[in-house]
Chain A
Amino acid sequence: MIKKGEWVRIHKIILTPEERAPQVPDDTRAVPLELWVKGFLQADAEIGDQVEIETVTGRMETGKLIEVNPYYTHDFGKFIPELLQIDKQTREILFGGGK
């Protein structure tokens, strides 16, 4: 059970494929236009329930409850060894060698 007042993230479909703009390319038209937004849960609920939230600007939005206390997981990615070669080469051109 997720309590009223908890900070949550919701998901909703705002345009179904049929409702999308006429100018979108075919691959985009095959899928709906989706929305994600965060806010304070307005009534006790479970993950997957249709809920109402109040966002930080005081707007009310409804959608499917997908996360409680949502957090970011983006990072510096996996190591790219090529970057070391760039460093090595440019430093050699500039400072290395018999100049």
Chain B
Amino acid sequence: MERANDYASVMGRKAEIMLKSVGIDYSKFESGSIAFDYEKMMRETGYTLEEMQNIQYSVNVGNTPILELKNITALARACAPAGKGARIFIKDEAANPSGSFKARRAANAVYHAKKLGYKGVIAATSGNYGAAVASQAAIAGLKCIVVQECYDSKGVGQPEIIEKARKCEALGAEVVQLSVGPELFYKFLLLLEETGYFNASLYTPFGIAGVETLGYEISMQFREKYGKDPDVVVCTNAGGGNLTGTARGLAKAGSHPTIIGASVSLAGLHMASDEAFNKKSFTTGHTGFGVPFSSWPDRSDVPRSAARPLRYMDRYVTIAQGSVFYMTETLASLEGLEKGPAGNTALAAAFALAQELDQDKTIIVQETEYTGAGKHVQPQLSFARDNGIEILFGDPKDEIPGKNIILPSHPSLLKTTEVDLDKMRKSLIRTAMKTYQVEEPTEEDIRFLAEETKSTEEFVRAQIKANKAEVQK
């Protein structure tokens, strides 16, 4: 029987394709209302921390070093009020086989795929995750397809994404490149159906649980080296898995630092727009993913995302593109470390955040990523300039994404902007009621939503009341 492969028909088969390609029956965790059992999902379909460590260490993933950035700390102190300027550290995740923390997610996903007998894995990503899956599939002897959004309608590609395509191919993967559009998901579903491969989604419990080792290591390494846990952990936030996994891992170590999410501000640029595509100077770690995925995690390629950052975030800040490029350059110039810009989003934020804290406090940026042709401060700025983006020195608060990139004219101008978490919490509650068409959330729903939003049942009840009043108007 010939199956219809038009957009609507393929999307209509989504649930069936997903069940086959992920091997998780998500309905087991559903309550029938808004709530679902997140912890049960993580427990029954993920791995224990010890199992994950064994899986990752057996394929040379993890145990990356923590580096103290003494010169960047000194620069922050030179900009801070007297007595302020926490010690800044980074966890050098670029030391993983594929050059980023994504190796942790991929190691688990590929291990799981192989255990279940899949012949290959597919990942839909333009980011470092593609190379991570390709690297792990190479070790496991599985086939690998990476589907990327890469070019605009003129065939011009983001240098950062083209470099990632090169790396995936170098590691033996087939790379399917697409032009701009959310229908990447359509092609992804068709490929899953055609090949019967495992969906190495970024958002399954195994993928997210794979990052727990990162949080756990931070605590263990810090205790061993500095005799205490870090005070603040800053995570670059896009799809939410990085922050979620790290926070869960820290909690498993009994460590409860302040968790701050950080995204590059791309305010005003439409993510599915062909014209805006090459006006971005960051292809990940930005608000175009970070804000929607935090406000509503279940927009991913699985029915229930295991990445639920709003559950763990104490603060969420944005930082301008020019500030991240500035910090990337400074990391090379003052610390002798060349790393990819997107991974330095949290570092740029940490530089500003450290200045709020006393000098005896510690702040750790939990990742770095590899750098190279295309994926480096130089080609990314050069590409921006070629696309008509003005690059100038000034105050980063005047930066308009898609129009200019403002390099701070002095490091003291490098500041974060606070995202209103209550607004995101309210948005999540509103979307939950709308999506599940629930007017009277159950007691279980209310408890669930309080956990989902790291708020209280009172906050949730007040929001539900406000939503109902809104509907009746």
Residues in A62-99 with C-beta less than 8 Å from chain B:
72, 74-80, 82-83, 85-87, 89-91, 93-94
Q: Which residue of A lies closest to B273 (CB)?
A: A25
Known A15-B183, A83-B378, A87-B329: A34·B151 in contact at CB below 8 Å:
yes
Residue among A14, A35, A80, A90 making CB contact with B75, cutoff 8 Å:
A90
Confirm or deny: A24 has a beta carbon within 8 angstroms of a beta carbon on chain B: yes
CA distance A96 to B396 in the complex (A): 25
A33-49: contact bitstring with B at CB < 8 Å (1 yes, 0 no)?
Answer: 11111110000000000
CA distance A94 to B79 in the complex (A): 11
Q: Count B interface residues, CB 8 Å.
A: 61
Known A74-B159, A77-B159: A86·B272 in contact at CB below 8 Å:
no
Confirm or deny: B385 has a beta carbon within 8 angstroms of a beta carbon on chain A: yes
- Residues of A with C-beta under 8 A to B166: 72, 74
B334 A91 Cβ-Cβ under 8 A: yes
CA distance A90 to B410 in the complex (A): 8
A55 B377 Cβ-Cβ under 8 A: no
B6 A19 Cβ-Cβ under 8 A: yes
Minimum distance in angstroms from B126 CB to a CB of chain A: 14
A33 B330 Cβ-Cβ under 8 A: no
Minimum distance in angstroms from B192 CB to a CB of chain A: 12
Confirm or deny: A1 has a beta carbon within 8 angstroms of a beta carbon on chain B: no
Confirm or deny: B359 has a beta carbon within 8 angstroms of a beta carbon on chain A: no
- Residues of B with C-beta under 8 A to A83: 329, 377-378, 381
Binds A, one of B92-100, B167-175, B225-233: B167-175
Known A77-B382, A91-B333, A93-B78: A57·B407 in contact at CB below 8 Å:
no
- Residues of B with C-beta under 8 A to A55: 174
- Residues of B with C-beta under 8 A to A34: 151, 153, 178-179
- Residues of B with C-beta under 8 A to A32: 153, 179
B174 A28 Cβ-Cβ under 8 A: no
Known A19-B6, A55-B174, A75-B374: A31·B75 in contact at CB below 8 Å:
no
Residue among B163, B166, B174 with most chain A CB within 10 A:
B174
B263-286: contact bitstring with A at CB < 8 Å (1 yes, 0 no)?
Answer: 000000010111100000000000
- Residues of B with C-beta under 8 A to A56: 143, 172-174
A94 B179 Cβ-Cβ under 8 A: no
A33 B183 Cβ-Cβ under 8 A: yes
B151 A80 Cβ-Cβ under 8 A: no
B274 A82 Cβ-Cβ under 8 A: no
- Residues of A with C-beta under 8 A to B376: 76
Q: Which residue of B lies closest to A15 (CB)?
A: B183
Q: Which residue of A lies closest to B172 (CB)?
A: A56
Minimum distance in angstroms from B327 CB to a CB of chain A: 9
A85 B381 Cβ-Cβ under 8 A: no
Tier of interface size on chain A:
35 or more
A15 B7 Cβ-Cβ under 8 A: yes
CA distance A28 to B271 in the complex (A): 11
CA distance A19 to B11 in the complex (A): 13
Minimum distance in angstroms from A58 CB to a CB of chain B: 7
Residue among A21, A24, A77 making CB contact with B381, cutoff 8 Å:
A77
B99-128: contact bitstring with A at CB < 8 Å (1 yes, 0 no)?
Answer: 000000000000000000000100000000
- Residues of A with C-beta under 8 A to B144: 57
A86 B373 Cβ-Cβ under 8 A: no
- Residues of A with C-beta under 8 A to B330: 86-87, 90
B333 A87 Cβ-Cβ under 8 A: yes
Confirm or deny: B411 has a beta carbon within 8 angstroms of a beta carbon on chain A: yes
A25 B159 Cβ-Cβ under 8 A: no
CA distance A70 to B270 in the complex (A): 31
Minimum distance in angstroms from A83 CB to a CB of chain B: 5
B7 A75 Cβ-Cβ under 8 A: no
B369-387: contact bitstring with A at CB < 8 Å (1 yes, 0 no)?
Answer: 0000110111111110110
- Residues of B with C-beta under 8 A to A58: 143
CA distance A21 to B272 in the complex (A): 11
Minimum distance in angstroms from B200 CB to a CB of chain A: 14
A27 B274 Cβ-Cβ under 8 A: yes
Confirm or deny: B74 has a beta carbon within 8 angstroms of a beta carbon on chain A: yes
Known A31-B179, A36-B151, A80-B382: A90·B411 in contact at CB below 8 Å:
yes
Confirm or deny: B214 has a beta carbon within 8 angstroms of a beta carbon on chain A: no
CA distance A35 to B183 in the complex (A): 11
CA distance A80 to B78 in the complex (A): 26
Task: Pick 7 A–B contacts, CB within 8 A, sort by A.
Answer: A20-B7, A56-B143, A74-B159, A74-B166, A76-B379, A86-B329, A86-B407
Closest 7 CB pairs of A and B: A77-B382, A77-B379, A31-B153, A74-B374, A87-B333, A34-B179, A57-B143
